[in-house]
């Protein structure tokens, strides 16, 4: 059953705008990924500087004041020249694997190849979820693993990781991510083509069994160009997803929803009835676009974190829904 989420935006939005006085996040705060630890929310995100670089940053807020974040600066630096992440580290996804924290992030190598300049998802590890070190200078996931796209390089995170317990007591992990197959072209449908995908792992390092789970719907104008950033959670026997669509309707991202019984075959309803959050033409910070959703369960409702105009050039905001029968488990 497709849920009809009604999100109430926080009047304090954007709750984490770029900081003009910061050397690392003066131009952009984007790609929010929030984890609750005790009584705090840890907000992992990508901050942009005046030289066009993006690094992974951290901000922390009390759970009872989720629009009052304190910045803690950069926690993951760029790779060396020539590496897959030498220009950008973006789209953090954080999950705990036993005693260690894993952060997956997308790298931009600094070339001028459009979406093909994002050649991999990297891994950083931590004992406390705050101080991270890179597992390898190379990506652990690349964009050439799905049938039909053997020569593709573009790949991006922006999704989630779910745990599937097995009969033998082990755990299989699912990572939802974005397959970015677009190539530079005046036609935006070619230039920005993206699909949602999933892969699997037993150790959080080696990822196999890559599958497409959603593609652009060419007859739906809010997502006829691309679908991306699948944020998935379980609700009882169902899987819920918020994801981004780029379409000719706005020309930029909006946020839609989908439902599944197995996490692989997704249902979006008819037309644009699954739109969950759209740009607000009256808002100075999200009039152009809303994108990169992250959802956390909060008592009897859900809380959404997302970013606005210019891919986070105006910062990160939050919204809540009072729907009481959709509980998140991650």
Which ranges of the chain would DSSP assign to H, the alpha helix?
188-191, 309-312
Whole-model pTM?
Answer: 0.95
User: 3-class DSSP state for residue 189?
Assistant: helix
* Token representation of residue 75: 């926690």
**In angstroms, what CA-CA distances link 134 with 56, 101, 144, 208, 246?**
12, 12, 22, 21, 32
> What does the radius of gyration of the chain's CA atoms come to, in whole angstroms?
18
Contact (Cβ atoms closer than 8 angstroms) between residue 269 and residue 256: no
**Other Cβ atoms closer than 10 A to 263:** 18
pLDDT of residue 190: 95
Instruction: Please list the pLDDT of the chain residue by residue as tens digits (330 residues).
Output: 676 778 999 999 999 999 999 999 999 999 999 999 999 999 999 999 999 999 999 999 999 999 999 999 999 999 999 999 999 999 999 999 989 999 999 999 999 999 999 999 999 999 999 999 999 999 999 999 999 999 999 999 989 999 999 999 899 999 999 999 999 999 999 999 999 999 999 999 999 999 999 999 999 999 999 999 999 999 989 999 999 999 999 889 999 999 999 999 999 999 999 999 999 999 999 999 999 999 999 988 899 999 999 999 999 999 999 654 433 433
Q: What are the extents of the domains in the chain? A: 8-15+24-321
CATH of 8-15+24-321, one of 2.115.10.20, 1.10.443.10, 3.30.1330.10, 2.40.70.10: 2.115.10.20
pLDDT at residue 324, as a whole number: 41
Q: Which residue has the tokens 């924290």?
A: 101
């Amino acid at each position: 059953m497709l849920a009809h989420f009604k999100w109430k935006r926080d009047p304090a939005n954007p709750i984490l705008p770029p900081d003009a006085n910061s050397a690392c996040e003066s131009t952009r705060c984007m790609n929010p990924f929030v984890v609750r630890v005790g009584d705090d929310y840890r907000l992992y995100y990508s901050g942009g500087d005046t030289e066009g670089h993006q690094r992974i940053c951290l901000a922390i807020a009390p759970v009872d004041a989720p629009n009052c974040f304190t910045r803690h600066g950069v926690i993951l630096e760029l790779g060396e020249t020539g590496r897959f992440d030498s220009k950008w580290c973006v789209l953090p996804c954080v999950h705990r694997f036993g005693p260690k924290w894993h952060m997956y992030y997308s790298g931009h190598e600094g070339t001028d190849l459009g979406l093909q300049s994002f050649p991999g998802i990297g891994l950083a590890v931590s004992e406390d979820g705050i101080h991270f070190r890179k597992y390898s200078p190379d990506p652990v996931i690349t964009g050439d693993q799905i049938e039909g796209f053997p020569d593709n390089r573009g790949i991006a995170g922006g999704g989630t990781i779910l745990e599937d317990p097995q009969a033998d007591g082990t755990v299989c992990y699912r990572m939802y991510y974005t397959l970015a197959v677009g190539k530079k072209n005046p036609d935006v449908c070619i230039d920005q083509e993206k699909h949602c995908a999933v892969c699997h792992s037993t150790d959080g390092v080696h990822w196999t069994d890559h599958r497409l789970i959603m593609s652009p719907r060419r007859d739906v104008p809010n997502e006829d160009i691309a679908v991306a950033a699948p944020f998935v959670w379980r609700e009882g026997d169902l899987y819920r997803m918020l994801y981004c669509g780029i379409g000719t309707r706005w020309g930029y991202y909006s946020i839609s929803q989908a439902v599944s019984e197995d996490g692989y075959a997704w249902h979006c309803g008819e037309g644009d009835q699954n739109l969950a959050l759209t740009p607000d033409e009256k808002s100075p910070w999200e009039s152009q676009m809303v994108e990169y959703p992250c959802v956390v369960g909060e008592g009897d409702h859900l809380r959404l974190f997302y970013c606005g105009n210019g891919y986070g050039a105006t910062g990160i905001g939050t919204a809540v829904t009072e729907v009481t029968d959709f509980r998140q488990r991650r």
